[in-house]
Amino acid sequence: MDNQRRNFLLTSSKAMALASVGGIIWGAFLTGTRANEFILRPPAALDEDEFLRHCIRCGLCVEACPFDTLKLASAGSKIPVGTPYFIPRDIPCEMCSDIPCVPICPTNALDKNLVLSGDSLDINKARMGVAIVDNQNCVAYWGIQCDACYRACPLIGEAIKLEYKRNDRTGKHSYLLPVVDSEVCTGCGKCEKACITKKAAIIVMPRDMVLGEVGTNYIKGWDSGDEARLKDAKTKNLKENTKGVESYLNGEF
């Protein structure tokens, strides 16, 4: 009887240990690491940390996407398992006017308030990423006429504009250079998909990776709306300068 009890306890302990280890491993897969920082999330996704806290890996947004743009991350992808993402070079976001992937989210990991204009959903307010042009490999910057990304952009003439520049090499032709307006670009990735080069010379990147942040030291004095950034800024009282401009420039102030 004692041997049976001992064997039972030993077997139970092994099972509990295996379950614990399995739980730790699965938990690590679910939470994932942020080794892959180039993740592009669906429209209206919260900032990455908040998104991961809210997303319950239900897959409803993926099912709602009519173009199979969204995928669920699998183990080993260096993306938290079960979370939605997309690869523009494969299938870009088709910018659905009703944004079906967003309202269906049960936890607001995809927050419809981020894409509202009044009471209506507005896909043009999505900020999935921002397109970046590699001007060393973009053939338009070589002088070869190409406007594939410009034509593919759903906000043509707004998110991507063509800048005309004299071609000093030939003296006859003009460059037609694609220039991205980061304030307008939604990050849909249609430009990346359309790019004619072997590896896209225009790619969509997470906005927080490639865009700077001015902070509160500088504002656009000609833009009254820009002053809103100073609403919660901390102020610092400076001593009156009695030594003149030279002392200020020399750091004596």
Q: Residue 21's pLDDT band (boundaries 50, 70, 90)?
A: very low
Chain segment 158-187, per-residue pLDDT in tens? 999 999 988 777 766 788 999 999 999 999
Residues of the chain with CATH 3.30.70.20: 129-213
Cα-only R_g, the chain: 26
Instruction: With 0.85 as the threshold, say if the pTM is over it.
Output: no
Q: What is the mean pLDDT of the chain?
A: 85
CATH of domain 129-213: 3.30.70.20
Chain segment 69-127, per-residue pLDDT in tens? 999 999 988 899 999 999 999 999 999 999 999 999 999 999 999 999 999 999 999 99
